[in-house]
Structure 1
Amino acid sequence: MTQPPGLNLRGAVDLTALARPQSVPAAAPGDGGAGPAGGPLGSGVVVDVDEAGFEAVVQQSLTVPVVIDLWAEWCGPCKQLSPVLERLAEEYGGRWLLAKVDVDANPRIAQAFQAQSIPMVVALLKGQPVPLFTGAVPEQQARQVIDELLKVAAQNGVTGTVAVGDADAEQEPQPAEEPPLPPLHAAAAEAFERGDYEAAAASFEQALAESPADAEAKAGLAQARLFARVASVPQAVAAGLAETAASDPGNVDAGLAVADRDLFGGHVEDAFARLVELVRRTAGDERAAVRTRLLELFEVVGVDDPRVARARAALASALF
């Protein structure tokens, strides 16, 4: 992570409008969200933030580093990254605050940070944004970035902490414990955390062999395969494939690789449109391979997502 001198990023991202009080109602007490605009964020090291509570985040960043996780419910990589960030926030014991922002519900915040794809993670120090990373990264890489952020924060006098402890537990009811994951799902989750996507896929494949109707295993397998494919292609090679796909729209290998990266980066509709067009341009085994990949990406996004429904209709038109 690079640090511009004195964190002089004003002008790169305009946060001033969001830092003013809004007329949007504040989050209800106990829902984990931010308080009223200009008010306290509440207790805990992980909070959900909306546009009404954004000023409180800016104020908090004067004394405590704030890490902002820009995510959405439909984003598969977000679902892998967010639990990693939440676990790290707990582990660091209040040395930084994790503020989670649903970009679909809060588009002005996403626009302010010029978010082109998600997950996107940025920090606020003394009210100024510091880019951290885009896309799902392994836990070790996220930890290294946050350690560097804390060094930068200390250099700029931002060394406060978020209040944690028994007092917080007394103020907020504790959620009921979630049932443990099935063994193969748990093994896949652990493999995801250490970046071993092939092992994660193998665990989900075994789960499906034992229970073919396991929808979560099917979606998890699609995600694991996507992550493995993206991780296996170096950035320089990916750039070359993007150029090939642009100059030769019928190139199946390039089109599949670029669609993977589009989806991984949150550009869902771009990925779907690219593959539907490839279906139109191909025939035989190539068309079958493209269709199979598109159906797999539907699983990553979620079969109930409206963009999947639209893409299914487009696929049917392309096929028939």
Structure 2
Amino acid sequence: MQPRNMSMSGVVDLAAVKAATEAKAKAEQARAQRQETGPGAAPASPLVIEVTEATFESDVLQRSAEVPVVISFWADQAEQSKQLNAVLERLAGEYRGRFVLGTAEVYANQMLFQQFGVQGVPAVFAVLAGQAMPLFQGAAPEEQITEVLDQVIAVAEQRFGIVGAEVDPGEAAAQPAEPAPPRPATPQELALSAAHEALDAGDLAGAVQAYRNVLSDEPANTEAKLGLAQAELLQRVEGADPQQVRKAAADAPADIDAQLAASDLDLVGGHVEDAFGRLVDTVRRTAGEDRDRARLRLLELFEVIGPEDPRVAAARTALARVLF
């Protein structure tokens, strides 16, 4: 089959990948880093890589935010696919880092084979900013292959702001880049790490204070918010008698403290829907300060579970119904 003109039609959604705007930001950051290190710096990776399911995230998805990645699916029994790989490997050297070639053996990578919807080998795809698009299947004249590669590079730059750094293929093979020295941790990162360590060690009071210290300097830190919500929840249920707490809640439905304590135990015990439902009902049956306390406790438990959990979304909807 002949190569087709590059377009965004037929794009395969690879899920959990960077959006185009994020890709542009990463590309700009990568270019700035390359400028800092200078043109003579060793390349970060070879121009031809072997793609596996285990390395797909780092070698393809993440890298595709900085350079176009062309993936060639091949099989040892298909001589045509091995011949195509040889052409693509030579072109990767000639293009000097404007794209990276990844080769994936289909029998060793069945999940990738299915995810990309490959019908047969050889099959060639491009991955740009975490999105895959089919290029061609079967053998093709080298002139047409280079046309498609030029289109891939143009789309990467125009749509996503992705431009691969020029690399000397000889140096890439002979002098693998040394890993950059680790960046020193910032004071905020050190404080967050100390908070995590206190939580892991069971020092709940220390963890609560440490997370609050982080949030005092960085109120939007989502990791610290989650850690604080977890530490405070564990602190509230520490030493509680589950039987007594549940009996008190059942005997006194109007007792706000009893309902809050029972909802905490529900959540810690893994009964997430029960915890959320109890607090939504408490909000519905109360008013004034008691209603505010129940609503705020529910929001705290949302933080523990995480906003992406569908149970949180359902409980938010239920809460909105009783509030408005």
> What TM-score comes out, normalization by structure 1 length?
0.43
Higher relative contact order (CA 8 A, sep 6+): 2
Q: Which entry has the higher C-alpha Rg, 1 or 2?
A: 2
Which one has a larger percent helix, Structure 1 or Structure 2?
2
Q: Give the TM-score normalised by structure 2.
A: 0.42
